[in-house]
């Protein structure tokens, strides 16, 4: 795992957007795996700024999203369909037929999981998968205990995840209890993975990711078995790691410090 240590959220977003833009320029027909949540918001804003300023085109890019809540209509303000549409998709030149997300409103969720896996298979999985991390170590909505062999499935959100996401809703009761998520096996089929971690609430998870063992109860540890993972982490999220003697910061790369 390559670790890029940056000062703050701004720098994290700049470095992440630079990596994504480079990918799209070098491989204009790439498949981008995308995440939602608070962490990638600024990265998406920077992709949009670059699109306006430098006309980087997404016309031949396909996107696949990690997850969607079960039971929220696509036009619900907190659905991930809405999030992606308003924060990114409508502001780039993506073709609508190249945008892929699981649908949490269908009557047969198992069929929907199969449909999504067929799309992932057809696209041959993301060339670059963007990930956030939950404070409990979840990636996508793969909560602690999810087998690493899991394909797309319906997951039960943990209480800590519902509490963390309640900030986007009026009340905790409104946060859905289930979601459709790409499983860990699908995520690991991505050719390259970029995980972003920002803020003190992620410090324990980052420490576990960097120093812990492969462990089903810490889903992000599955990334240790992948050959091409980059983690961009800001100083607050690195707080617990800086206390560990044998991890030292070295030369700066892409505006951050590679560990
Ligand atoms: C979102 C997703 C989640 C988030 C994670 C961190 O599509 O799959 O794993 O990346 O919950 O969320 P934030 O960025 O809000 O801290």
Residue 190 phi, psi dihedral angles, 5° rounding? -60, 145
Testing ligand 1's pocket by substitution, the residue of 13, 16, 33, 37 carrying the most ligand atoms inside 8 A of its CB is: 37
Fold classification of 11-189 (topology level): Rossmann fold (3.40.50)
> What is the predicted pLDDT for the residue at 259?
60
> What is the predicted pLDDT for the residue at 74?
95
Beta bridge partners of 67: 181
60 catalytic? Reply is no
Task: Give the pLDDT band of residue 147 (cuts 50, 70, 90).
Answer: very high
* Ligand 1 binding pocket includes 139 (Cβ within 6 Å): yes
> What is the predicted pLDDT for the residue at 242?
74
- Cα(51) to ligand 1 centroid in Å equals 24
* Ligand 1 binding pocket includes 146 (Cβ within 6 Å): no
Residue 253 has pLDDT above 90, yes or no: no
- Cα(140) to ligand 1 centroid in Å equals 7
In the predicted model, what is the mean pLDDT of the chain? 94
- Cα(93) to ligand 1 centroid in Å equals 25
Question: Which sequence spans correspond to the domains of the chain?
Answer: 11-189
Q: Which residue has the higher pLDDT, 198 or 251?
A: 198
**Residues across the chain:** 259
* Ligand 1 binding pocket includes 43 (Cβ within 6 Å): no
Give percent of the chain above pLDDT 70.
93
- Here the tokens at position 121 are 């298979």
- Here the tokens at position 234 are 């800001």
138 catalytic? Reply is yes
Residue 87 has pLDDT above 80, yes or no: yes
Residue 254 has pLDDT above 80, yes or no: no
67 catalytic? Reply is yes
Counting from 1 in the atom list of ligand 1, the atom nearest the Cα of 202 is 16
From the centroid of its chain, how far is CA 194?
Answer: 8
Other C-beta atoms lying within 10 Å of the C-beta of residue 72? 21
Q: What is the tens place of the pLDDT at every residue in 201-224?
A: 999 999 999 999 999 999 999 999
Give the C-alpha separation, 158 to 43, whole Å: 27
Q: What is the tens place of the pLDDT at every residue in 176-190?
A: 999 999 999 999 999
The model's pTM is 0.94
């Amino acid at each position: 795992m390559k670790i890029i240590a940056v000062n703050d959220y701004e720098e994290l977003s700049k470095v992440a957007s630079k990596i994504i833009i480079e990918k799209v320029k070098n491989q204009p027909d790439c498949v981008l795996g995308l995440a939602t949540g608070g962490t990638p918001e600024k990265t998406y804003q920077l992709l949009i700024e670059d699109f306006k300023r430098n006309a980087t085109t997404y016309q031949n890019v396909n996107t696949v999203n990690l997850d969607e809540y079960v039971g929220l209509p696509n036009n619900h303000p907190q659905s991930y369909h809405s999030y992606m549409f308003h924060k990114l998709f409508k502001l780039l030149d993506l073709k609508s037929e190249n945008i892929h997300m699981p649908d949490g409103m269908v009557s047969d969720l198992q069929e929907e999981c199969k449909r999504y896996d067929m799309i992932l298979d057809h696209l041959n999985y993301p060339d670059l998968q963007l990930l956030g991390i939950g404070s409990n170590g979840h990636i996508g909505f793969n909560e602690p205990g999810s087998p690493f062999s899991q394909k797309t499935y319906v997951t039960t959100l943990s209480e800590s995840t519902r509490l963390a996401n309640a900030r986007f809703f009026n009340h905790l009761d409104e946060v859905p209890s289930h979601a459709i998520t790409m499983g860990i096996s699908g995520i690991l089929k991505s050719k390259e993975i970029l995980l972003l971690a920002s803020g003190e609430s992620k410090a324990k998870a980052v420490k576990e990711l960097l120093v812990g063992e492969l462990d089903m109860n810490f889903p992000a540890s599955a990334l240790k078995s992948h050959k091409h993972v980059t983690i961009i982490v800001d100083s607050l999220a690195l707080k617990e790691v800086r206390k560990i003697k044998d991890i030292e910061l070295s030369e700066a790369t892409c505006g951050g410090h590679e560990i």
